[in-house]
Chain A
Amino acid sequence: KAGVTQTPRYLIKTRGQQVTLSCSPISGHRSVSWYQQTPGQGLQFLFEYFSETQRNKGNFPGRFSGRQFSNSRSEMNVSTLELGDSALYLCASSEGTAPIHYGYTFGSGTRLTVV
């Protein structure tokens, strides 16, 4: 079956702009989680959505938001971009109906560069 699809793969934005990233999970997976990966901080949890509801949230400012649609596709939005938002943004899907004993399936990520 198809894997986790993230679009776009690369983005270059200017400080102050906003950006929307998209993630399509594996068919049948209802949970989508987002992570920010940077060289200094590693993987930082942003939020998790299940059946269109945010179930879990990390320690990021309100400029970072997300949503999930009825087909489980998810988007995350970052407003008023800062240079420090430059990172690889990873989406991970899972079945979502139990604690995550089976692991995530990750997409290839969106590389965001803020200039």
Chain B
Amino acid sequence: GDSVTQMEGPVTLSEEAFLTINCTYTATGYPSLFWYVQYPGEGLQLLLKATKADDKGSNKGFEATYRKETTSFHLEKGSVQVSDSAVYFCALSDEGGYQKVTFGIGTKLQVIP
């Protein structure tokens, strides 16, 4: 079945540091890939997405590129802020899976001033 693998963290960075959160996936066919973010006490918010190979999703300074050859969708940001502290989830939706989305375990990011 479908699966998403990402490190659990926590990842602790100083403000303005470079961020990478790795995500790899297993799926049949050509899934759509997503990053969601969850702030404390809230539900998940869609951060960015990519629907086909080599697509780059970007939003709020975050970006991720759909790499089919390495089945990866790593999240990056050039300069993190304290306000980026949250849990980040990588997810996929298989093309035949209608509304079922498979999530990774989530990576907690802590940014210290």
The chain A residues found within 8 Å of chain B, CB to CB, are: 4, 6, 31, 33, 35, 42-43, 45, 48, 50, 55-56, 58, 90, 92, 94, 96, 99-109
The answer to the question of B44 belonging to the interface, with a C-beta cut-off of 8 Å to chain A, is yes
Instruction: Please give the number of chain B residues whose Cβ is less than 8 angstroms from any Cβ of chain A in the complex.
Output: 26
**Quick one: given A56-B98, A99-B98, are A106 and B44 in contact (CB under 8 Å)?**
yes
Across the interface, do A103 and B102 meet the contact criterion of CB distance under 8 Å? no
Task: Take A101-B51, A103-B46, A108-B42 as given contacts and tell me if A45 and B106 are in contact as well, using a CB distance cutoff of 8 Å.
Answer: no
For the complex formed, measure the closest distance between the CB of A91 and the CB atoms of chain B, giving whole angstroms: 8
**A33, B51: Cα distance in complex, Å:** 20
Query: CB within 8 A of A100: which of B45, B101, B103, B106?
Result: B101
Q: Is the CB of A43 within 8 A of B99?
A: no
Most buried by A among B44, B95, B99: B99
In the assembled complex, the Cα of A33 lies from the Cα of B106 at a distance in Å of: 19
Cβ B99 vs Cβ A33 within 8 A: yes
Interface string of B3-36 (1 = CB under 8 A from A): 0000000000000000000000000000010101
The 10 closest A-B pairs by CB, nearest first: A106-B43, A103-B46, A43-B103, A42-B105, A100-B93, A106-B44, A48-B99, A108-B43, A31-B99, A101-B51
Q: How far is the CA of A50 from the CA of B43 in the complex (A)?
A: 21
Asked if residues B104 and A42 are in contact (CB atoms below 8 Å), the reply is: yes
* B32 close to A100 (CB less than 8 A): yes
Q: Are B46 and A104 in contact (CB under 8 A)?
A: yes
B43 and A4 form a contact (CB under 8 A)? yes
Residues of A within 8 A of B49 (CB): 101-103
- A50-B99 in contact given A99-B93, A108-B43 (Cβ < 8 Å): yes
Instruction: Choose among B51, B100, B106 the residue that contacts A42 (Cβ–Cβ < 8 A).
Output: B106
Cα-based distance from A106 to B87 in the complex (angstroms) = 15
Separation in Å of the A49 CB from the closest CB of chain B? 9
Docked CA distance A109–B44 (Å): 9
- Closest beta carbon of chain B to A1's beta carbon, Å: 16
Q: Nearest chain B CB to A21's CB is how many angstroms away?
A: 13
Q: Which residue of A lies closest to B46 (CB)?
A: A103
Q: Which residues of A lie under 8 Å from residue B98 when comparing CB positions?
A: 48, 50, 55-56, 96, 99-100
